[in-house]
Structure 1
Amino acid sequence: MAEGLRERKKRQTKQHISDVATGLFMARGFEAVTIAEIAEAAEVSVNTVYNYFPTKEDLFVDREDEVIDRPSRLVRDRAVGQSAARAIIEQLRQDIRERHAYVGLSEGYERFRQVMTDSPTLMARLFTIAGKTVNHLGVTLRAEAAAAPQDPTPEFVAHQLVGLQNAVQRCILRGLAEGGGVDAVAEDALRKVDVMESLLSDAVLNYAVKNTP
């Protein structure tokens, strides 16, 4: 269905507010910027900001739903003959090789990382997002593996796979924060993925192999 004029205007307004807020956060830090200042800079009312973004954190993590669903989407879209773990791990390697923002290696990500780590509020929100990602992936794995309702395996596998992703991302952020070059940090991250993969059991690595298109 084609996007109507009203929907397009709402989407554009939301994106404009988000862009303005991001610019202010990058310039001054998350905690220092108020919703009133964002509204003034975006030339909208404070109520309009809250209509689109219920909390200030929502302005910084405006792609939260996409981040939470991404591992599940990779599992749903995996190739025939590929397991859930292989789909997620191979995408992680590709993200590192391509210097993707998902793993913190894209151009200009250093300032974004600094703003994030300087804010206890944002770090708490990221912890919440990680938990939601695990829960969402557990639901997806249960459906994909046709696991029984009482079988805890999907949730346990989800914890290991999301934990692997998070561990690699933390290694990348730490390497960059310590002054490592992007290429050197990326190569080190790829080595760490190999190590982490080697520590996973065959049961995890071969869980939910896709049998049909």
Structure 2
Amino acid sequence: MDEGLRERKKRETRQRIADMAMGLFMARGFDNVTVAEVARAADVSVNTVFNYFKTKEDLFLDRSAMVEVMPAEVVRERATGESVIAALRRDFLDALDTRHWRYGFGDGSDVFAKLVSDSPALTSAMLQMHMERERALAEALMEATDADPDDLRPWLVATQVLNTTRVLTAHAARRMMAGEDWARIGPDIREQAEIAFGLLERGVGDYGARSGAGQDEKPPSSAARPNSST
């Protein structure tokens, strides 16, 4: 029980530091806030801040560890007979409809996007996070399809899907930053997402569909490649 209490207190301390940091970043901009100022606002030492967050960018991207693995978990938990594209489409549309933060649709996501665009350091950190997200998804696809190490399709599919969701999310953020109401943005992004995932489905097809026996079929040899016309 003592160990559980310690872990809970650690989580609470970490969350308090992250919340205080985000409040300062939103008020003054990421590059105008120091780690020392975050520490003072959270009533902890600078060393304590760095015990929980390796870099200042990690204070801003405090959910990055979760964000990086979420698409991979969707693939691993997809239903029998459900393709990779269908599973990721379902997850993306659910996040859109519920305005969940995992794809950047939560309240304040426009402010988040503006802070990133205004800071080269955050832009670089976000790029690194997206690369880790692609790597995690590609590895999940390799497992799901029992792909050979030299088979690039898991990496190609991961890149295509996640770049598609990034384009959709960025478009929504730009419209929110311009002051457009979500009542107009949401339905339009949903329509655009249906089109985008439709394009992916026609190009990627039933890649990674889970068999009824619970075992994923090994993809065809490297001689059989997806139609390159899409």
TM-score in terms of structure 2 length: 0.86
Letter in 2 for 1:17: I
State the shift of 1:7 in Å: 2.2
* Structure 2 residue aligned with 1:15: 15
Query: 1:72-151, aligned counterparts within 5 Å?
Result: 72-151=72-151
* Structure 2 residue aligned with 1:178: 178
Preserved contact between residue 134 and residue 159 of structure 2 (Cα < 8 Å): yes
Distance (whole Å) between structure 2 residues aligned to residue 178 and residue 17 of structure 1: 30
Between the two structures, name the one with larger relative contact order (CA 8 Å, sep ≥ 6): 1
State the shift of 1:193 in Å: 1.0
- Which portions of structure 1, spanning 4 or more consecutive aligned residues, are displaced by more than 3 angstroms? none
* Structure 1 residue aligned with 2:37: 37
* Structure 1 residue aligned with 2:220: none
Identical aligned pairs, as a percentage? 38
- CA offsets 1:40-62 (integer angstroms, 9 cap, x no match): 11111111111111100000101
Letter in 1 for 2:98: E
Distance (whole Å) between structure 1 residues aligned to residue 2 and residue 162 of structure 2: 36
* RMSD across aligned positions (CA): 1.8
* Structure 1 residue aligned with 2:64: 64
In structure 2, relative to structure 1, the CA distance for the partners of 1:202 and 1:105 (3 Å cut) is: closer
* Structure 2 residue aligned with 1:205: 205
State the shift of 1:112 in Å: 2.4
Letter in 2 for 1:88: L
- CA offsets 1:84-104 (integer angstroms, 9 cap, x no match): 111001111121122222333
TM-score in terms of structure 1 length: 0.93
Preserved contact between residue 96 and residue 190 of structure 2 (Cα < 8 Å): yes
State the shift of 1:203 in Å: 5.4
State the shift of 1:201 in Å: 5.1
Instruction: Give the aligned length.
Output: 213
Distance (whole Å) between structure 1 residues aligned to residue 95 and residue 163 of structure 2: 16
In structure 2, relative to structure 1, the CA distance for the partners of 1:2 and 1:179 (3 Å cut) is: same
Distance (whole Å) between structure 1 residues aligned to residue 136 and residue 104 of structure 2: 22
Preserved contact between residue 105 and residue 182 of structure 1 (Cα < 8 Å): no
